[in-house]
Amino acid sequence: MMITDDECGVTEEWMRGWNDAKHRLGFRVFGMAIGAAGAAEAGSVLEVLCDYLRSIEDLTEVHAAADLFRVI
């Protein structure tokens, strides 16, 4: 599970290592962008890193939080 406020950045070298490890170990990544809708947009760092990505503005909003955990 990756959670971000959209303040992240990765190098190309780090991304290659990440993808190699992900492939070798066979894991999936779930992401949650909290209060930063842009973090979940196509082409964002989080979108590239995650297999499943959700954006949520308010963690107290029951339906949005339930949607994320239904996928997990």
Q: What is the DSSP letter of 5?
A: -
d(CA 28, CA 61): 25
Predicted local confidence at residue 5, as pLDDT: 64
pLDDT in tens, 15-62: 999 999 999 999 999 888 877 777 777 878 888 888 988 888 877 777
Rounded to the nearest angstrom, the gap between the alpha carbon of residue 9 and the centroid of all alpha carbons in its chain is 13
Confidence at residue 34, expressed as pLDDT on a 0 to 100 scale:
79
- Residue 71 has φ and ψ, to the nearest 5°, of -70, -40
pLDDT tier at 6 (50, 70, 90 boundaries)? low
Q: Which residue type sits at 57?
A: E
Domain boundaries, the chain: 2-71
Is a pLDDT exceeding 80 seen at residue 1? no
Q: What burial letters (b/e) apply to 42-64, b meaning 16+ CB within 10 Å?
A: eebbbeebbeebbbbeeeeeeee
